[in-house]
Structures are given as C-alpha cells and as structure tokens.
Chain A
Amino acid sequence: MKYTTIINNKTFEIEIQRDGSLLVNDKVIHVDFLNLDTSLYSLIIDNRSIELAIDESDGMTELLVNGRLFEAQVLDERALFLANRRGTLGISSGEIKSPMPGLIVEVRASTGDVVEEGDTIIILESMKMQNELKAPIGGTISEIAVKAGQTVEKGHSLVTIAPND
C-alpha cells in the first residue's frame, strides 16, 4: 500500500511492503510498531525507541510525542487523487468550527470581508469566559453561518474563509 503523509507541510511518500518493511521516500526502513493500550503505541526504528499516543479526528491523525502534539494527514492513493483534484492538498481548512458548546457573543466580520490570518472573527462565551475565535488562514469570508445571541454545539460550523490565490 502506498501512502502520502503530510506533516508540518512536509510530505513523506511511504509504501508498506508485503514483508512489513517500509519504503520511506525510496529508502528501506525496518520498523517495530506495537499497540500497547487503547491509543498508546511504541515505535522502535534503528534502536531508537519512542512512545506515542495516537488518535484520529476529522480525518487528521493526532500524535503526542514527549509533550509535543503533531497533526498528520495520511492519504492513500485514492484520497490523494481526490485531494489533488479538489486542490485542498496540504492547505489548512478555512473553516472555523466551534471548539465547544457556547453562546455567540459577537461576529466581527461580514460575508465578503478580507481577513488576515489571526484576525478575531467570532467571540464565543463558554466556561464563563469570552473566547476569541481567530481566522485560521487569510482570505475572503465566504460564509457566516451564525449570528450574535445564538447558542452552538461543539463542532458547529461557524465561518468559512476562502483562501486567497
């Protein structure tokens, strides 16, 4: 099986061969990868031993190694083909989702506005705190799905930003 794995904007071509060895960017690597507990894994490569906690959410693989969290996108050949066609490969999504249930206090942008990465778009009140939700990418606001005063559930899509070309 051939996979394309993208992590921190770096791409790795990884092929899992029939004998269990790997071809990583055309180099043969032998790995020992064990599942220890629900999400806990041990990986030994060239005597280097690391422990990882791995979880999948929203099509991304999250990995925690020594207190550091990585997000990887693992695509098989079919998914790679589709991503290439949609032009979404390696581009972080311009969608702001509600990270928790809460109340929309303020919407600071309108459809058609041009925003920079890091601009505060929405103020969401939850856990007795006002939280600023920021634009994950720069671009033009293509859709605003909520208005002030509305309560939202976790994962509710709030705003969509179309990336600039």
Chain B
Amino acid sequence: MTDVQQKNITKVLIANRGEIAMRIIRACRDLGIGTVGVYSDVDRTALHVRYADEAVHIGPPQPRDSYLRMDKIIEAARRTGADAIHPGYGFLAENADFAQQVTDEGLIFIGPTPDAIRQMGDKQSAREAVRRNGVPLVPGTEAGLHDDDVVGTAEKIGFPVMVKAVAGGGGKGMRVVNDLESLPAALKAARAEAESAFGNGDVYIEKMLVGARHIEFQILADMHGNTIHVGERECSIQRRNQKLVEESPSVFVDDDLRERMGKMAIAAAESVNYVNAGTIECLVDKDKNFYFLEMNTRLQVEHPVTELVHGIDLAKEQIRIARGRPMTYTQSFLNPRGWAIECRINAEDPYNNFIPSTGKINVFSSPKGPGVRVDSGVYSGSEISPYYDSMIAKLITTGDTRQEALLRMRRALDEFVIMGVKHNIPFHINLMNSVSFIAGQFDTRWVEERFTMGTYESGPTDDDLELVAIAATLHSHRRRQLAAQVVAPAARDTSNWKWLSRWERIRR
C-alpha cells in the first residue's frame, strides 16, 4: 500500500480543554505545527487558551452548547485555517458523526475512520467484529433476546452475571445479578434505565468474572497496513468504573501472556481496519484467561505510562499517522524499560465519599525532580467549575523498578501542594502505603470492597499537631494584625509604580 496520499498538517484545532488540550498543543509545538484552542465562557482564562497560538470562543459553559457543538468547532477550524482537528478524549472523541463531518469538510480528523468508531462504539457490533478475528469474549448473550432466552443462557453460563445496556456507558443500565431469582427484576429495571438514558432499552448479559483485572493494550496502526501494540497498562485500581491509578507494565503480565494478549489486541484492531491510536480493554481472570471488553477509539487519559516505559510520543505519532506517513515503529513493543505509575489527581474529597469539589485553586505547586511528570491544565488562581470532569492533574512517576517508581510516587505526592479545592492526594498516599497495592495484589473490585482510608493512615504525633497549631495561630494572628492596620495611612502616599519611576529618574 504505497499509494497512500501524504497530507500536510500545518495547523491543528484541538476540540477539547484541560490537560489533554495542553498535551496535544505541546505535541504540535514539538512538531512545529500551529495550534488553535477553543473555549467556552468559563474557560477564557484556562491554560490551553493561553498556550494555543489562536483561540476561538465557542459558546456557553454547558458542554452541549460549546465543546459538543460540531458546527461551531468546524466553523472555528474553517475561520482559522486549521487543516486538522484533534478531538482529545471525551466530548466528541468517539463520535462517528463528528469524524465524518470533519472529513466531509476536507479537514483531517486525527483519529480512526468514522466507520471504525461506529463499529467499536456499539458494544454488540464490536463483539461481532472481533469475534470474527478469533478474539475471546466474556461468555454472554446477544442483544435483542427475549427475557426467557436471557434467563436460559444465564443458567448455562452461571452466576454472578452482569446485565448491560447495548447503548450503555458510565454504569447506566448496568446491574450485577447474583442469582436466578433476581434476574427478571434486574432485566426489567435495566431496560427501563437504558430506555430513559439512551432511548434504547436493549440489554444483554455477560458472565461476571470474579477477581478479574482490567488490563489494556495500546494499539498503533498506520494507513500502510502496519498494526502494532505498545504493551499493556494495568488499570484495576478503579472506583465506580472510574480509573484512579494506572501502571505499565502490569505485575500480572509475564512475557508469554504479553505476547498472546498483544496478538489478540492486534487482531481486534484489524477486525475493523483500525488506523491511528486506540486501546483494547480486557478483563483477565486469576488463571490468566483474557477476554475482550471494548475498544477505545482515541488517545487514553493514561497514555503517559506507556510513553514513559517505551520511550514513544503517542500524540506525535497520532499526527504522523494522520499525515499518511508510515509509523516510526513497525515492531510491537514487548520489552518495557523500567516502570511507570500514574495517579489521577481529582477534585474529590476522599474523606467524604469522593464528593466532587469546586472552587478556585489558590495554590498549585507541582512536584519536580527525577522521574516525575505532571500533565495538568490548571494553575494557581484557576477555577474548577462544575461543568466539566473533576481531574486536576495526572502525576506520573518512573523508575528502573516498580519499587523505585512507587517510592518516587510517595515522594511526589508529599511534595504536591494543591489548596482551595478538596482533592484525592490523601487517597493516593494511603494507596501507596497499602500492603496489597505494594504487593501488586488487587482486582477491579478491590478499592471499592476492601480499601478504606483509615487503614494505612497513622495519626499525627503530638509534636506534629503542636507545629501545625503554632502555624495556624501565627497565621491567624498576622491576618488580624493586618486587618487592624488597614485603616492606618500608607507609609508612602503615592503608588509604588509612581515611586519606582521617580526613583529611576533620580538615578539617571
């Protein structure tokens, strides 16, 4: 396939916000490509707007009025002369119609084809596609079955089972059923929920794997027929189906499993003629049987851990592929160098049921030093608004061994200062101290079922408390003294700026 048309990209519009917009702007800068940011009313002062070469206002804060408005985003690209659009993750990243419209406008969509997005976006068609290429699936039923048939299959594959909505996402229409008796009621409830949430009440069931891990493979494919994998990511540390910590490689994956799962991941991607970066998500049971879960047709939040252990820049590679060039690499990545761990720092209060916290970030001082990378879209003085997701930053550490990466993570978490909003750094500190996490013994249910904040938290010593009490008192004392002094006249009766210029004139 040497007849692939090479296209030029000179300016990329980033149809996103936050840290991923920053990540893509940086990749473009590295490549000498111009950037266009888009922003809603509340994002005028956001970091990605400050960093982009050009910025276009696209509407009110609600995503449906701005970051999800395909017409406004395409119009912004046309107006600024951008020749490509990168969707980031979330928002329009996995919307086949958007990819189609962008292509129809004669612009380059930095991602897979609309057809691949469509096939992988529907759970049922995704399962059918990968099955044709011999990819193992979690035992379950087809969609569109009558309840009686579903119950019959459930008996055959054994409980517990998961009831899932065909059009599902974000845990909606999802039910865990432990026995035959409660299945009919669960089916009914899931159908109703899916009908109201997605306008499609079609459900199916899947065997629930007990003690399973969530392990995913990074895929890269170009237009010249090359498809490779870039190793695995371990993402079992989750809460309510939200990943909190990811690492690469996985303690659970040996060379043999990596090779077998890698082949499976490539076969899954090839089943829809996939092009660009994507991720094959799998469940792996304790006997190392693995099953395809779904394919994410975009760059993932957790892509940095893969970049760091394999020395690859995935965002740059995405742009290269979109230009029609062959990938830099033609061999799959089987040998990770060292270890990388990522903690998602979210504005959520771990002591209060992980309730999201909004407000102004008064202090944001990120950790530095060897083996530390911070991807973030905030700064001291920026606002966490209730309109978008609660991620403040991604903290990634590396080391020659998992142990070293983990110890660096502990150090970096201690060094990280975020004030103004509640955040989950204390959760991560506790996690890094927990025996199970250190030993690599956990599954996807572990955080929710067995992890509690208190277990690995030693209370502060009396000495610590005294130090903190002294600091609190001195701080309050100074505030009160200052408040009392406000009424006193300023020592200099003119502004400091004026005074400075007078002083400079005298010195001349």
A residues at B contact (CB < 8 Å) = 1, 3, 5, 7-8, 10, 12, 14, 16, 22, 24, 29, 31, 33, 35, 37-41, 43, 45, 48, 50-56, 61-70, 72, 74, 76, 99-102, 126-129, 131-134, 154
Which chain B residue has the least Cβ–Cβ distance from A71? B472
Q: Is the CB of A39 within 8 A of B419?
A: yes
5 cross-chain pairs, A with B, having the tightest CB-CB distances, nearest first: A72-B472, A74-B476, A12-B469, A61-B472, A100-B358
Instruction: Let me know if B471 and A38 touch, CB within 8 A.
Output: no
Per-residue A-contact encoding for B215-251, CB less than 8 Å = 1, 0 else:
0000000000000000000000000000000000000
**With the chains together, A61 CA to B476 CA distance in Å?**
8
The binding surface of chain A is classed by DSSP as strand
Contacts of A62 in B (CB 8 A): 419
Query: Is the Cβ of B477 less than 8 Å from the Cβ of A16?
Result: yes
| A126 pairs with B363, CB closer than 8 A | no
B414 neighbours in A (Cβ, 8 Å): 66-67
Known: A53-B419, A67-B413, A67-B416. A41 touches B473 (CB 8 A): no
CA distance A110 to B50 in the complex (A): 49
Contact A40/B363 with A64-B419, A67-B429, A69-B426 known, Cβ cut-off 8 Å: yes
Give bound CA distance, A114 to B471, whole Å: 38
Contacts of B419 in A (CB 8 A): 39, 53, 55, 62, 64
Give A127 to B459 CA distance when docked, in angstroms.
32
A72–B476 Cα gap in the complex (Å)? 10
B474 / chain A contacts, CB cutoff of 8 Å: 16, 31, 33
Kindly identify which residue among A33, A65, A67, A72 contacts B425, using a CB–CB cutoff of 8 Å.
A67
Q: How long is the Cα–Cα vector from A1 to B355 in the complex, in angstroms?
A: 39
By a CB distance below 8 angstroms, the chain A residues around B468 are: 7, 52, 63, 65, 70, 72
Mask for B347-388, Cβ within 8 A of A = 1, else 0?
001001101111100110100000000000000100000111
Smallest CB-CB separation from A50: which chain B residue?
Answer: B467
Do B363 and A61 touch (CB < 8 A)?
Answer: no
Closest chain B residue to A48, Cβ basis: B467
Q: How far apart sit A127 and B425, CA to CA, in the bound complex (Å)? A: 20
Contact A41 B475 (CB under 8 A): yes
Q: How far is the CA of A10 from the CA of B467 in the complex (A)?
A: 13
Measured between beta carbons, the chain B residues less than 8 angstroms from A76 are 480
User: Smallest CB-CB separation from A39: which chain B residue?
Assistant: B363
Q: How far is the CA of A63 from the CA of B465 in the complex (A)?
A: 11
Shortest Cβ distance from B433 into chain A, in angstroms? 11
Interface centre among B386, B387, B413, B470 (most CB of A within 10 A): B470
Cβ of B472 and Cβ of A99 under 8 Å apart? Answer: no
Contacts of A16 in B (CB 8 A): 473-474, 477
6 contacts between A and B (CB under 8 A): A38-B363, A43-B467, A52-B468, A55-B363, A63-B475, A74-B472
B420 sits at the interface (CB 8 A): yes
Chain B interface: which size bin? 35 or more
Interface assignment of B460: CB less than 8 Å from any CB of chain A: yes
Beta-carbon contact of B470 and A31 below 8 Å: yes
- For B362, list chain A residues within 8 Å (CB): 38-39, 53, 55
Contact flags (1/0) for B480-494 with A, using CB distance below 8 Å? 100000000000000
Q: Are B479 and A154 in contact (CB under 8 A)?
A: no
Taken together as a complex, chains A and B put the C-alpha atoms of A127 and B62 apart, in Å, by 11
Does B473 lie within 8 Å of A45, measured CB to CB? Answer: no
Cβ of B382 to closest chain A Cβ, rounded Å: 14
CB of B466 within 8 A of chain A?
Answer: yes
CB proximity of A125 to chain B, nearest CB, Å: 10
Choice from A29, A35, A41, A100 contacting B357 with Cβ under 8 Å: A100
A146 to B478, CA, bound (A): 39
Interchain CB contact (< 8 A) of B356 among A7, A41, A63, A100? A100
Q: How far is the CA of A103 from the CA of B418 in the complex (A)?
A: 27
The answer to whether B33 has its CB under 8 Å from any CB of chain A is no
B471 touches A10 (CB 8 A): no
**A48-B467, A66-B414 in contact; A54/B386 too (CB < 8 A)?**
no
| A74 & B473 in contact (Cβ 8 Å cutoff) | yes
Bound Cα distance from A92 to B136, whole angstroms: 54
Contacts of A133 in B (CB 8 A): 355
Q: How far is the CB of B102 from chain A (nearest CB, A)?
A: 26
Task: Tell me the complex Cα distance, A127–B468, Å.
Answer: 34
- Chain A residues near B355 (CB, 8 Å)? 99-100, 131-133
Give CA–CA (A8, B390) in the complex, Å. Answer: 28
A52 CB to closest chain B CB (Å) equals: 5
Within 8 A of A (CB), among B313-361: 349, 352-353, 355-359
Q: Which residue of the partner chain B has the closest CB to A132?
A: B353
Q: Is the CB of A41 within 8 A of B386?
A: no
Q: Please name all residues of chain A whose beta carbon is closer than 8 Å to the beta carbon of B417 when the two chains form the complex.
A: 40, 51, 53, 64
CA distance A64 to B472 in the complex (A): 11
Chain B residue nearest to A15 (CB atoms) is B473
CB–CB A72/B352 < 8 A: no
Whose C-beta in chain B lies nearest to the C-beta of A59? B476
A101 x B356 contact (CB < 8 A): no
